[in-house]
Copies of this chain bind each other. A is one copy, B any other.
Amino acid sequence: MADKLTEDRVRGALGSLPGWSLADGKLHWQHQFADFVEAFGFMSRVALVAESMNHHPDWSNCWATVTIDLVTHDAGGITENDLELARRINDLV
């Protein structure tokens, strides 16, 4: 299992993760798409990536808005898996 990262390590990684911030101990991201079709099409792609990584987001959707929080519940914090999923989400946008 991936280990919980130090806050310093996470803050350092955020430098190369535009759009992500640290909130309540999770990697946080929010984006407003053009409409629901664009938002859910994006979620479908994230779902495919997440399932293939066997690492899934906590996320919510309200029409065109998608909010994602990444944390590794089993590790009690943010791990390299969360950073990797954040990177792959950024590649999809």
Contacts and interface: CB of A to CB of B under 8 A. Distances in A.
Contact of A41 (B45, B54, B57, B63): B45
Copy number of this protein in the oligomer? 4
B44 A40 contact: yes
A48 B45 contact: no
B48 A37 contact: yes
Contacts of A22: none
Interface in A45-69: 45, 47-52, 54, 56-63
A90 to B, nearest CB: 14
9 contacts: A36-B51, A37-B48, A47-B48, A48-B51, A49-B51, A52-B54, A58-B62, A59-B61, A60-B60
Interface of A: 36-38, 40-45, 47-52, 54, 56-63, 92
